[in-house]
Structure 1
Amino acid sequence: MLTPKIPEIHKTHPIPQEAFDWYDEYAHGLMDRRTFMKKLSTLVVAGVSMTMLTSALIPNYALAEQVSFNDPDIKAEYLSFPSPEGNGEGRGYLATPVGLTEKAPVVLVIHENRGLNPYIKDVARRLAKAGFIAFAPDILHTLGGYPGNDEEGKQMQSSMDKVKVEKDFIAAALFIKSHPSGNGKLGSVGFCFGGYIVNMLAATVPDKLAASVSFYGTPAAKELRANIKGPLMIQLAELDKRVNATWPEYEQDLKAHNIDYVMHMYPKMNHGFHNDSTARYDAENAELAWKRSIDFFNKHLA
Structure 2
Amino acid sequence: MTAVTAHWVTFPSGDDEIRGYLALPTDGAERAPAVIMAHENLGVIPHRQRVTEELAAEGYAVLTVDLFSRIGGRPPQDHTTQEERRAKAFLAARDEQAVPDLDAGLDYLATRAYVDAGRAAVIGFCLGGGLALVWATESDRLSCAISLYGIPELPAAYSPTHAVRSRIDIADRVRCPVQAHFGGADAVIPLDQVTRLTDALGRSDRPTEVHVYEGAGHAYHDDTHPNHLPEAARLTWERTRAFLREHL
Give me the TM-score of the superposition, normalised by structure 1: 0.68
Question: Relative to structure 1, is the Cα distance of residues 139 and 100 closer, same or farther in structure 2, using a 3 angstrom cutoff?
Answer: same
Identify which of 164, 177, 196 aligns with 1:231.
Answer: 177
Residue 182 in structure 1 maps to residue 115 in structure 2 = yes
| DSSP 3-state at the match of 2:247 | helix
Check whether the contact 1:117–1:146 (CA below 8 A) recurs between aligned residues. Answer: no
- Structure 2 partner of 1:93: 21
What is the number of equivalent residue pairs in this alignment? 228
Report the structure, 1 or 2, having the larger helix content.
1
Residue 290 in structure 1 maps to residue 224 in structure 2 = no
Q: Distance in 1 between matches of 2:91 and 2:211?
A: 33
Residue 166 in structure 1 maps to residue 113 in structure 2 = no
Check whether the contact 2:68–2:93 (CA below 8 A) recurs between aligned residues. Answer: no
Question: Relative to structure 1, is the Cα distance of residues 242 and 260 closer, same or farther in structure 2, using a 3 angstrom cutoff?
Answer: same
Please tell me the residue identity of whatever aligns with 1:225. Answer: A
Q: Distance in 1 between matches of 2:131 and 2:90?
A: 15
- Structure 2 partner of 1:74: 4
Question: Relative to structure 1, is the Cα distance of residues 176 and 153 closer, same or farther in structure 2, using a 3 angstrom cutoff?
Answer: farther
Question: Relative to structure 1, is the Cα distance of residues 104 and 270 closer, same or farther in structure 2, using a 3 angstrom cutoff?
Answer: same
1:169-248 mapped onto 2 (5 Å cutoff): 169-183=102-116, 184-205=118-139, 207-219=140-152, 221-222=167-168, 224-243=170-189, 244-248=191-195
- Structure 1 partner of 2:158: none
- Structure 1 partner of 2:159: none
Check whether the contact 2:35–2:122 (CA below 8 A) recurs between aligned residues. Answer: yes
Check whether the contact 2:177–2:207 (CA below 8 A) recurs between aligned residues. Answer: yes
Q: Distance in 2 between matches of 1:295 and 1:158?
A: 30
Q: CA RMSD in A?
A: 2.7
In the TM superposition, residue 154 of structure 1 has moved relative to its aligned partner by: 5.2
| DSSP 3-state at the match of 2:92 | coil
Q: Distance in 2 between matches of 1:223 and 1:158?
A: 19
Q: Distance in 2 between matches of 1:130 and 1:153?
A: 34
Larger Rg: 1
Question: Relative to structure 1, is the Cα distance of residues 256 and 155 closer, same or farther in structure 2, using a 3 angstrom cutoff?
Answer: closer
Q: Unaligned stretches of 5+ in structure 2? A: 153-165
- Structure 2 partner of 1:251: 198
Q: Distance in 1 between matches of 2:92 and 2:103?
A: 16
